[in-house]
Amino acid sequence: MPSCFPSRGDQKLIQIIDAALADTTRRSGDWLACRPGCTQCCIGAFAINQLDAARLRTGLLKLHSQAPDRAAAIRQRASDAVSRLSATFPGDAITGILDESEDSARQFEDFANHEPCPVLDPQTGLCELYDSRPMTCRVFGPPVCSEDGLGVCELCFNGATDDQIAACEMIPDPDQVEERLLAKVERTTGVHGNTTVAFCLAS
């Protein structure tokens, strides 16, 4: 992992996100169905930024020093996924960087929707790099505002009213710490654009 990775800043960001999640979890109560072993959000490719990618690679290196067999299994699953997906990857399959055009964005909506995350342990249903997981994973489940309104996991808030959902809204990063850290990573490494977990960890 390049020495430019802003570990202190990223640790601060994670603390902010974790605090926001703890608060919304308290407010959500039984509406929030997320539990260890639930893999609903671990199936289907999703975009991650270069800060997420740096964190994942660092986590994989740490795991390799502690449990090399588990780390090797993740790399193998990632490589296998890349082999399956490269032909239809809506971007540069060599670098793993997603194309930013509207056409490519539409293609990505139907890309690898049934592909399990390579970090998901198929035996236990647990994330092998949980402490290093991308921000998308950290905020998935609770109500989070997006362009389409408040989005929630389809397994959560069943039967809740719009007002009940809104009362549990999670505001993950109000001071935009992630944006500043991402800019630093991209500026220092010269790598810009989003990728996916498989393409990140297979490289």
Q: What dihedral angle (degrees, nearest 10) is formed by the CA atoms of 60, 62, 64, 69?
A: -80
Under the banding of pLDDT at 50, 70 and 90, the label for residue 181 is very high
* Digit-coded pLDDT (tens) for 25-83: 999 999 998 888 889 899 999 999 999 999 999 999 999 999 999 999 999 999 999 99
Share of the chain above pLDDT 90, in %: 84
* H/E stretch holding 50: helix 50-66
- Average pLDDT over the chain, rounded to an integer: 93
The mean pLDDT of 164-171, rounded to a whole number, is 94
Q: Report pLDDT for 167.
A: 95
Whether residue 159 has pLDDT greater than 50: yes
Q: Could you say which DSSP state residue 86 is in?
A: G
Structure token pair of residue 20: 């926001």
